[in-house]
Structure 1
Amino acid sequence: MTMRILLLFSLTLFAAPIAVSAEGERAPISLHPENQHYFQWRGKPTILVTSGEHYGALLNLDFDYVQYFDELKAHGLNHTRVFAGTYRENEGAFGITENVLAPKPGRYISPWARSSEPGKAHGRNRFDLMKWDPAWFERVKDLLRQASDRGIVVELTLFCPMYDDQTWDICPMNAVNNVHGIGAVPREEAFTLKHNDLLAIQIATTRKIVQELEEFDNLYYEVCNEPYFGGVTMAWQHRIVDAIVNTEKDFAQRHLISMNIANGRSKVKEPHPAVSIFNFHYCVPPDTVAMNYGLNKVIGENETGFRGSADVLYRTEAWGFLLAGGALYNNLDYSFTAKHPTGTLRDYKSPGGGSVQLRQQLGILKRFLSGFDFIRMKPNGSLVRAVEPKLSTYTLAQKGKAYAIYFHVPLPSKPKDLKSLLRRDIQNFGDD
């Protein structure tokens, strides 16, 4: 007991200083200066790991994000992904039980103020896209403070494509839902450079959000969720990146910017120089990390799911992705809803997983990696030459000093009979 106390004291005494700006404020999360495949936050090398709610914590007034953050912190998880409120979903979208992105009537909040004119969507007044809703800005700032107090970094996703006509029908940027008649366009053209009035609103909204959130160190911005759907153009995305950069040009500290690249895997070509995080979805296997490792930037998996509800699917996916060299993992956790902000819903029918047990397992993964000097390590796919019976293997290594090796039973992206598959492989190991 005495040795443990002395060790804890020595670690505190010699802890790395927290990075601060010239004005004494904490510097926002950044790429680690010695290895830009990872983050630095509050003076420490950082990997972001979470099992997060379905992105409605901010825009859904019925969601208690304080209880949600307490649950993440309890398992040592340090990340969440939040949609800004420029997009929402209808109840029943994607077959999600108690979808947090589908607030009840009167419980949706966005950056834009409501007008006095009656509207169509949910029977509420139309939006005034030229005016801001002070309540939204109060809520987003409180959300960021509560997350900060619990050591949680927030990815604020500014926009999302309209996946179908029903989603576009309820969007504030659709002409039928605002007083200006802006957005009288096909949904596939909502995020292009074709319509100057709509683009001006999107840029003004981006600038306003970035201006208001300058002070927060536990924040980075993602331009658009899944821009490879719904007609989103790369030129439009780059225009939003430019708006963030131009807004922050006189800030003492600047926030990281993320772009969502693809489902599965894709080679990033001609990246915007201001983008530091390249996020992918549904990375099974995680070969997109190796494909893009030469960017010398963070490669993340900020969404996965749709594989079934079993914890083993997402536990193995998380270990594989991070030991392949990724620095960010976020599982869609459907056990979190407005009625269950601590993640206790178990009988959901949603197309994915999430449970307290999975969060516990991801906490173990985060603690395991934090036990290494991982900024000195690199993925090494050739260290393990062969395994019998066949296993999937991932390795992070600092040659001659430290090796983190993960083995798991090979699993398809969407196994049809997971129990039989696992039982067969266990028997194979037993026979050997």
Structure 2
Amino acid sequence: MMLRIILLSSLTFCLASSAVSAESGKAPISLHPDNPHYFQWRGKPTILVTSGEHYGALLNQDFDYVKYFDELKAHGLNHTRVFAGTYRENAYAFGITDNPLAPKPGRYLSPWARSGEPGYAGGGPKFDLTKWDSAWFERAKDLLQQASDRGIVVELTLFCPMYNDKLWEICPMNAANNVNGIGAVAREEVYTLKHRDLLDIQIATTRKIVQELKEFDNLYYEVCNEPYIGGFGMEWQHRIVDEIVEAEKKFSHRHLISLNIANGRKKIEQPHPAVSIFNFHYCVPPDTVAMNYGLNKVIGENETGFRGSADVLYRTEAWDFLLAGGALYNNLDYSFTAKHPAGTLRDYKSPGGGSVELRQQLGILKRFLDGFDFTRMKPDQSVVRALQPKLTTYTLAETGKAYAMYFHVPLPRKSKDLPSLLADDIEAVATINLPAGKWQAEWLDTKSGKVANQESFQHKGGDREFKSPKFSNDIALRLLRQN
């Protein structure tokens, strides 16, 4: 009981020490008022696209996030995902080369202050979970400002499950690593409502972060990364959502809240009304978008990888997901490390991809979609009536006015022989149903961003065949009706 009083007193002090209502200013990124499947940010319809580092930009003091953000901006990418520092990894986790989530001894920042007592398993003093580390909050605010200056939206992920005992052994919430005696629990019980002292810490930390970062418009919160791996249900997550809502209820503006739902696909039942973004991982194929489209909220893919290192895998995955109706895509990019914050590492052994070429290609995708009034569009797989050779295709349509189409060689989730699935000099013939009118067609090279072919034509209505220029592996088609 005494510990709980100390925790709640600390929380009350922290909230009272700053203004209760949010600073007046720009509204944070929000759902688009005309089409909540997409975002609105700074007055413009927005889709978030990136190829981002492995989430350590904030907690790893050796990571130069300014150089990282400069690289994203250079390719027109506008998003990043960042872990808050309540969880960290060791150098051996998941076989990731120079993992940004595994800072060197003495270079790890969390929201909690260090104590004067030695004994943290990751090096240095133990943590005091009732006190805050001002250096963390200063770095968080600077990171958000630097991202804001470059037009980048930050997803701040508050918590993450302990995937194995080794990761739980280096977590500040483990009783062995703090001076408060909090967290003497099994790692599977860290994110439950069973242990009141641990829950109070998580609530206090959530509220403190929300209070301190209230003025940033380029921010939304994700409650927990991959909670389904930890085996805990929605009750704890919904409690954290409620705490964010309560902490922000007197703010002038409120931030969006995201839940990470599943790897692959899952039908969302009884969603929390305060959650606006439902994120999935490894969405090949992207059928989870159609499965949950009726929620009228953003469906995102905020992590992918583990398919190999080839750019074509993640380029096609991004195009498929966004043309299926998603509004957020983040490739897990292992070319970013603390030693290579501009994403120049080439010979990594990590379980995924990432390169400057892929970032260029994702920038092409984003510009292609930004060239449409996409808030008026929705996925429509009925427009393409026939297609030769056999290709995977997705379409976003503003029926009768504009169509964004994508075609690529069929690719499974994973393949032991990727080269055998790829092809050059493809000439596709697509039968597409269009209403009568004058139209313009442009075939886009998805690797260079150049228009490979274009034509204007008068159409009487009904099916029409379109023959593509020769391409390797994938190509996009823009169809616009002329006034």
- The TM-score bracket by the shorter chain reads over 0.9
1:92 Cα deviation (Å)?
Answer: 1.6
- Say if 1:87 and 1:425 are closer, same or farther in 2 by CA, change over 3 A: farther
Task: Determine which structure has the larger helix proportion and give its number.
Answer: 1
Paired letter, 2:146? Q
Determine the structure 2 residue equivalent to 1:350: 350
Instruction: Give the alignment's TM-score, normalised by structure 1.
Output: 0.93
Determine the structure 1 residue equivalent to 2:380: 380
Q: Structure 1 CA distance, aligned partners of 2:256 and 2:357?
A: 31
Q: Is the 8 A contact 2:222 2:257 kept in 1?
A: yes
> After the TM superposition, which segments of 4 or more aligned residues of structure 1 sit over 3 Å from their partners?
21-24, 423-430
User: How far does the alpha carbon of each residue in 1:21-69 deviate from its partner, in whole angstroms, 9 at most, with x for none?
Assistant: 9975110000000000000000000000000000000000000000000
Paired letter, 2:275? V
Q: Structure 2 CA distance, aligned partners of 1:386 and 1:81?
A: 39
Determine the structure 2 residue equivalent to 1:42: 42
Determine the structure 2 residue equivalent to 1:412: 412
Determine the structure 1 residue equivalent to 2:359: 359
Determine the structure 1 residue equivalent to 2:368: 368
The answer to whether the aligner puts 1:396 opposite 2:396 as a matched pair is yes
Q: Structure 1 CA distance, aligned partners of 2:387 and 2:105?
A: 55
1:218-257 aligned within 5 A: 218-257=218-257
Determine the structure 2 residue equivalent to 1:51: 51
Determine the structure 2 residue equivalent to 1:164: 164
User: How far does the alpha carbon of each residue in 1:203-238 deviate from its partner, in whole angstroms, 9 at most, with x for none?
Assistant: 000000000000000000000000001233210000
User: How far does the alpha carbon of each residue in 1:147-183 deviate from its partner, in whole angstroms, 9 at most, with x for none?
Assistant: 0000000000000000000000000000000001100
Cα RMSD for the two superposed structures:
1.5
User: How far does the alpha carbon of each residue in 1:52-111 deviate from its partner, in whole angstroms, 9 at most, with x for none?
Assistant: 000000000000000000000000000000000000001021000000000011110000
Q: Structure 1 CA distance, aligned partners of 2:238 and 2:54?
A: 26
Determine the structure 2 residue equivalent to 1:15: none
Q: Structure 2 CA distance, aligned partners of 1:209 and 1:123?
A: 25
Q: Structure 2 CA distance, aligned partners of 1:150 and 1:428?
A: 39
Q: Structure 1 CA distance, aligned partners of 2:220 and 2:254?
A: 9
Q: Is the 8 A contact 2:109 2:136 kept in 1?
A: yes
1:384 Cα deviation (Å)?
Answer: 1.0
Instruction: Give the alignment's TM-score, normalised by structure 2.
Output: 0.83
1:163-242 aligned within 5 A: 163-242=163-242
Q: Structure 2 CA distance, aligned partners of 1:283 and 1:422?
A: 20
Determine the structure 2 residue equivalent to 1:74: 74
Q: Structure 2 CA distance, aligned partners of 1:322 and 1:210?
A: 30
Q: Is the 8 A contact 1:128 1:179 kept in 2?
A: yes
User: How far does the alpha carbon of each residue in 1:392-420 deviate from its partner, in whole angstroms, 9 at most, with x for none?
Assistant: 11000001100001011110111111112
**Which is worse superposed, 114-123 or 395-404?**
114-123
Determine the structure 2 residue equivalent to 1:154: 154
Larger radius of gyration: 2
Paired letter, 2:198? L
Determine the structure 2 residue equivalent to 1:85: 85
Q: Secondary structure at the match of 1:228?
A: helix
- Say if 1:356 and 1:424 are closer, same or farther in 2 by CA, change over 3 A: closer
Q: Is the 8 A contact 1:409 1:425 kept in 2?
A: no
Q: Is the 8 A contact 2:24 2:252 kept in 1?
A: no
Paired letter, 1:213? L
Determine the structure 1 residue equivalent to 2:452: none
1:116 Cα deviation (Å)?
Answer: 0.5
Q: Structure 1 CA distance, aligned partners of 2:382 and 2:192?
A: 43
1:428 Cα deviation (Å)?
Answer: 10
Paired letter, 1:155? E
Q: Is the 8 A contact 1:50 1:330 kept in 2?
A: yes
Give structure 2 stretches of 5+ with no counterpart. 1-20, 430-469, 471-483
Paired letter, 2:118? P
Q: Is the 8 A contact 2:308 2:351 kept in 1?
A: yes
Q: Structure 2 CA distance, aligned partners of 1:405 and 1:113?
A: 51
Determine the structure 2 residue equivalent to 1:262: 262
Q: Structure 2 CA distance, aligned partners of 1:277 and 1:197?
A: 29
Paired letter, 1:146? Q
Paired letter, 1:48? L
- Identical amino acids, percent of aligned pairs: 82
Q: Is the 8 A contact 1:191 1:233 kept in 2?
A: no
Determine the structure 1 residue equivalent to 2:433: none
**Which is worse superposed, 107-116 or 122-131?**
122-131
Q: Is the 8 A contact 1:192 1:231 kept in 2?
A: no
Q: Secondary structure at the match of 1:313?
A: helix
- Say if 1:52 and 1:22 are closer, same or farther in 2 by CA, change over 3 A: closer
1:427 Cα deviation (Å)?
Answer: 9.9
Paired letter, 2:102? A
Q: Secondary structure at the match of 2:410?
A: coil
Larger relative contact order, structure 1 or 2 (CA cutoff 8 Å, min sep 6): 1
Alignment coverage as a number of residue pairs: 410
Q: Is the 8 A contact 2:158 2:224 kept in 1?
A: yes
